[in-house]
Structure 1
């Protein structure tokens, strides 16, 4: 998809971090925007930073299929089309696999996986029917390729999001669609993902934190602090849309890490501890 100017993009999780950077990056390309987030204040702030293009906002919990369907209905109804869909909303919960409560998995899977699946179901059929060039960009994570200690529940959700992205891309290719897919796999980025608890639903809240959860929080805090700017991720994402690139890393060492992991798995061994930065 070479031409982005005068086209329409949807970005979920647009209130901060990578979502805000994507919104501003796509606006700079001349795209009108529908921005969604579960947190009203940051979403309004992102919209206020957009210049030169039409921008709409919608408070949306991507784990709720009805909310995402409403987002799609309003977008197509008021903007007339969607050319780029960024399923970007995501949350983090750390800790060891055996200490995580069902509510932890339900929260992470609800946002990180079902948010992508709801976006696909609500938007993609109508994007196909447009019969125009278009792109679906799913913000997965390097944790969707490399599982690590203290982030098992998060990795489960992100591995599934990567599988959904690859399957979607294969389905579209087999159907002869003009739509393309990108699985964006960032590592350490200076975002607010280490403060995800602020948007955790009350019905999925559990007692805590546990000791392993505290240890995980210290690790993720360090990764975020040393991370790259979200704007670098947005630049890579826009380039991937133009180049129709499926897999996008944000750090140069991940390609070598993926080779090492593949070799270890082919040998029947546990892959080495991944390096996320």
Structure 2
């Protein structure tokens, strides 16, 4: 998909971090934007930063199927089409697998996996019906490729999001659809991912365990030394143009992925970095 100007992009999780960077990058490309998030104030700020671009915003909890359906209905109803869909909203919680309870998994799966699945279900059929070029970008995470100590349920949801992206891409190819898919797998990026609890519903509140606190602090430190979200947005636009499926923010991940595959093929537990 070479031409983005004049097209429509939908970005969830657009109030900060990678989502905001995607919105601003698409605005610079001359796209019309539909931006969604649960943070009303910061979502409005993203819209203001988009300058002269046409922008609609919608408060949307992507874990709620009806909320995503409303987002899609409004988008197609008011803008007429969707050409780029970024299922980007995501949250982080670390800790050991055995210390995560049902509420932890409900929150993580709700946003990180069901948010992607709801986006696919509500937008993709209508994007196919448009019979135009289009692209779906699912923000997975490098944690969807490499499970590391302390990633807990987060890695579970991101591996599942990668599987959903692969299956979607294969289905679209098999049916001859004009849509393409990218799985965005960023590593450390300067975002507020370590502060994801700020968006956690009160109904799923927790008393943090020591291992969860340690993982949250680790995620925050990693983000401080990460790349800028704008670099990720540039990678996404390049990936859309080139129709690349797997988007890695660090070339070192290629060698790590090969090493992990080789370890698994020998029946060994892959190392981690």
Contact 1:9–1:85 (8 Å) recurs in 2: yes
Structure 2, unpaired ranges of 5+: none
What's the offset of the Cα at 1:52? 2.4
Partner of 1:257: 256
Q: TM-score, normalised by structure 2?
A: 0.99
CA-based RMSD = 0.6
Partner of 1:29: 29
Partner of 1:175: 175
Structure 1 residue runs of 4 or more that deviate by more than 4 Å after TM superposition: none
Q: Which 10-residue stretch deviates more, 39-48 or 209-218?
A: 209-218
> How many pairs align?
273
Whole-Å Cα distance in 1 between the matches of residues 51 and 134 of structure 2?
23
Contact 2:84–2:135 (8 Å) recurs in 1: yes
What's the offset of the Cα at 1:215? 1.4
1:72 aligns to what SS in structure 2? helix
1:202-217 aligned within 5 A: 202-206=202-206, 208-217=207-216
What's the offset of the Cα at 1:217? 1.6
Structure 1, unpaired ranges of 5+: none
What's the offset of the Cα at 1:221? 1.4
2:216 aligns to what SS in structure 1? helix
Partner of 1:191: 191
Whole-Å Cα distance in 2 between the matches of residues 86 and 50 of structure 1?
17
1:220 aligns with 2:196: no
1:60-209 aligned within 5 A: 60-206=60-206, 208-209=207-208
1:44 aligns with 2:44: yes
Whole-Å Cα distance in 2 between the matches of residues 218 and 19 of structure 1?
22
What's the offset of the Cα at 1:214? 1.6
1:267 aligns with 2:270: no
CA deviation map 1:168-205 (0-9, x unaligned): 00000000000000000000000011110001001111
1:233 aligns with 2:232: yes
Q: TM-score, normalised by structure 1?
A: 0.98
